[in-house]
Amino acid sequence: MRKADIISGSVLFFGSLYMILLGIPAQIDAVERATISPRTLPYVCAAIVALLSAVLVISRLRTTKSDEGLGTPLTLGHILWTGIILGSVMLGLFLLQPLGPLVASGTVIVILMLAMGERRPAYLVALPAGLLGLGWLLFYQILGTAVV
């Protein structure tokens, strides 16, 4: 796993540097009068990927072969959680067009809360309502933009 982590971290690091220096400026137009530049989120995401991949490579270079355990870190539980998360996001995407962003994102939040074991009705209602309310406040009231 040490060698795979070093290789994958290096590929991600150099790929994100390519995106920061060449890919994003070539593919996303700069908008002069925009409140937030369309390049901002891709730059932030690429910078986070570069930072985390650099941390991965450096941390794996500092370990020796005797430090790593045997076996794969991937278990059936990891695969099931990946399926639950991907399934809930896919359901949210399918619900987005006919029902709108509030119902779609609320459904994703509730499914993930139920999957993590939350069963208290007050929390199942209050947390999605609070998150969606804060999102509405941020996008519609503070930034003056629309989600859809």
pLDDT tens track, the chain, 148 positions: 788 889 999 999 999 999 999 999 999 888 888 788 888 999 999 999 999 999 999 998 988 776 566 666 778 888 999 999 999 999 999 999 999 888 999 999 999 999 999 999 999 999 999 999 998 898 888 888 876 5
Three-state secondary structure call for residue 54: helix
Query: Looking at the chain, how many residues does it have?
Result: 148
Three-state secondary structure call for residue 126: helix
DSSP string of 74-104, one letter each residue = --HHHHHHHHHHHHHHHHHHHHHHHH-HHHH
Q: Whole-structure pTM over 0.75, yes or no?
A: no
